[in-house]
Structure 1
Amino acid sequence: MASVIDAAKYILEKTGEITSMKLQKLAYYSQAWALVWDEDEIFPEDFEAWANGPVNKCLYAKHRGMFKVDSSLFREGDTSALNDAHKETIDKVLEFYGDKTAQWLSNLTHKEAPWLEARGELQPMASCSDIISKASMAEYYSSL
């Protein structure tokens, strides 16, 4: 199975340099829509409901302290680990969300049930490491 690092490298090979926050959101939406369209996860790693939207800790560990990232940061990533269906899903996500800003994507996640439910009653900028479940992602995005 592919990892979030493999997916991130694929995303960055397609987009070129982007902000680390935008990478997080594109990886999140790629996973969300794969759960709906492919009925399968792209990678096993989870997202947490951080203040600025969904964040994958494994990705964060790679880009911590960096504003912009490109595929060279993910040299160990293996895009061949992604199957054709997952590449197609990521491509569709990039087609739809790819021209949006990181802030726009973050704001969108703040209006959606998976992030809202994982955060519960927390204040908007409160720290949170609660997992956004894949089940909540699949349920919410399949209803759109």
Structure 2
Amino acid sequence: MADVTDVARYILDRLGPMSAMKLQKLCYYSYGYHLAWEERPLFPERFEAWANGPVAPGLYTRHRGLFSVGPEDIGGDPEALDPGEQESVDLVLGSLRGFSAHQLSAMTHREAPWLRARERAGAEGLERSNEPLAEADIHEYFTTLTAADSAQG
């Protein structure tokens, strides 16, 4: 199984340098959709309900203090992703690559996994929180999204 830095490197190799916040959100959406589509986690690391949306702390330590990140900043091995994992990430990038970091962050702020974690932590507004997003909440939310997409298409 790949880890979050492997997925981040895979994304950066495909899209090039980007803001750290956008990279975090693309990793999150890749994780959520992969969990719904494949019924298995994309990587073992968890996301926490930070003020600007879901953040994988292990990835954060790689880009801390950087606004823009490139492959050389993250490390990771994009070859660690199996074909199913690559397909999930590619599908997410195909639909979300045009969104800005702030648009992606705003999207997460309206979604149940982040909202529920913030509620459990009692965190409001821009208060700090390291409450983990619940795997069950992520799975339920993204499964509902994919079912709605299937029904429409």
TM-score over 0.5 for the pair: yes
**RMSD of aligned alpha carbons:** 0.8
- The whole-number CA distance in structure 2 between the counterparts of 1:78 and 1:16 is 15
Q: Partner of 1:90 in structure 2?
A: 89
Q: Partner of 2:150 in structure 1?
A: none
- Report the CA distance between 1:74 and its aligned residue: 2.5
Q: Is the CA contact 1:32–1:134 (under 8 Å) kept in the aligned structure 2?
A: no
- The whole-number CA distance in structure 2 between the counterparts of 1:26 and 1:96 is 10
- Report the CA distance between 1:133 and its aligned residue: 1.5
TM-score, normalised via structure 1 length: 0.97
Q: Partner of 1:128 in structure 2?
A: 129
Q: Partner of 1:103 in structure 2?
A: 102
Moved over 6 A (4+): none
Once the two structures are superposed, residues 67-98 of structure 1 have per-residue CA deviations (whole angstroms, 9 ceiling, x without a partner) of 000111123x1112111001000000001111
SS of the equivalent of 1:142 reads helix
Q: Partner of 2:68 in structure 1?
A: 68
Aligned length: 143
- The whole-number CA distance in structure 1 between the counterparts of 2:114 and 2:62 is 22
- The whole-number CA distance in structure 2 between the counterparts of 1:49 and 1:28 is 11
Q: Is the CA contact 2:2–2:81 (under 8 Å) kept in the aligned structure 1?
A: yes
Q: Is the CA contact 2:42–2:85 (under 8 Å) kept in the aligned structure 1?
A: yes
SS of the equivalent of 1:130 reads coil
- The whole-number CA distance in structure 1 between the counterparts of 2:28 and 2:125 is 20
Larger helix proportion of the pair: 2
- Report the CA distance between 1:55 and its aligned residue: 0.4
- Residue identity in the other structure for 1:11: I
Once the two structures are superposed, residues 44-72 of structure 1 have per-residue CA deviations (whole angstroms, 9 ceiling, x without a partner) of 00000000000000010000010000111
Identity %: 45
1:112 aligns to 2:96 (yes or no): no
